[in-house]
A and B are shown apart, each in its own frame.
Chain A
């Protein structure tokens, strides 16, 4: 379901490929992103620009991806809408994930860090 784009500095941008990341597709999303990590991707940018709704299962999938990549790589998120931003704030995910406004901003920051 995911769409991927390779950028400079071996950064791979992932778009979930669904407007709603919920119990119905969260496991597929996680499995596909974890497969990228297993294939050696260490700099991941997940772009939520087209995602309008994220439920607790979607959040669990994101947390699972973060735990999977661990200290071996970098996981960055961008494009959160106001509702998902509020959910992140309530669950303190804003303290766990690196979050940027959009893809260009995230890519610039990730590139500078490499």
Chain B
């Protein structure tokens, strides 16, 4: 039986205007004219004049025209043929779907393999930091929210007993953010940093470095941008020159245990071509601790959508100041996961912890 409701046929609206005028041939033509996702087997039963009607039914694309005179056995035989044809069609369709599923699965596997390779390549660009550079003990944690990430950071010795450090967070997630972060990571080598982040007189000029990057990455064609914190720390004096470009203010914990944010904000990089940037200064005392976290830390939300917040992060860092520097990034990651009830972060997390241990290397 044809379920007219399932076929979405509005018989009343068809021409001729009355359903009473719709004969089997009309109905067959209407059904064949529908854009159905499945085949409808039509058995047309004629009351008389079988030969003429058979031709008309075949012209209308009916499958099995039979006459009442053929008897019940002929109708049953046609019904059986229809069921067999339907079964055969379903088997064929199942094979097609299985093949399409296989092709999609293989394509997905290839994309996933590419993403895994990209994620691995990106991780290899990020320094695994549990080491001493110029009297600073440095540790890091990098926790991407997906396979690839928009975070990048680096830390290296510069000429003149100075330590250079930067952290970048590209807006957005996924492949676009990852490609930009990798491009930044390739660009900001120690040589590039050392040549751009000082003015002509040899004085640290981190705002000049960020200005340079802003010129390079500003585009009128997309909304891509990144936030950045960068600094140069003098090993001997502890003087820290820095520039904050939209990146969250790092937390500094003094040797006496007092904690505070450093930096007063700044435009992101690559957003406005005429943005200007400011140099900032701070003193990094012996025994002082500096912790740089991407915004995934302060924005981490618990089950009630309450953010972890900058103040809670500052308090956490202050409590961790006596612990081994190597364990600080991991402890912050754990505190954020606990805050979220074990759920993974929605954004990429970077934590960099630096402790000034000595100045007489």
Contact = CB atoms under 8 A, between A and B. Distances in A.
A65 B227 CA distance: 19
B271 A55 contact: no
Interface in A24-52: 30, 52
B271 A52 contact: no
Interface stretch (B70-78, B87-95, B156-164, B165-173): B165-173
Interface residues of B, number: 27
A90 B347 contact: no
Contacts of A57: 171-173
B267 interface: yes
Contacts of B169: 56
A63 B224 CA distance: 10
Interface size class for chain A? 20 to 34
B299 interface: yes
A64 B246 contact: no
A63 B265 contact: no
A91 interface: yes
Interface in A47-71: 52-53, 55-57, 59-61, 63-64, 67
A56 B223 contact: no
B271 A53 contact: no
Interface in B135-189: 169, 171-173
B223 to A, nearest CB: 4
A92 interface: yes
Contact of B267 (A23, A67, A83, A91): A91
B285 interface: no
**Residue from B173, B249, B301 whose CB has the most chain A CB atoms within 10 Å:** B173
B172 A60 contact: yes
22 contacts: A23-B173, A30-B223, A53-B301, A56-B172, A56-B295, A60-B171, A60-B172, A60-B224, A61-B223, A63-B271, A83-B307, A89-B265, A90-B248, A90-B249, A90-B265, A91-B227, A91-B265, A91-B266, A91-B267, A91-B268, A92-B275, A96-B272
Given A59-B268, A91-B265, A92-B275, 8 more contacts: A56-B169, A56-B172, A56-B227, A59-B171, A60-B171, A60-B224, A67-B220, A83-B307
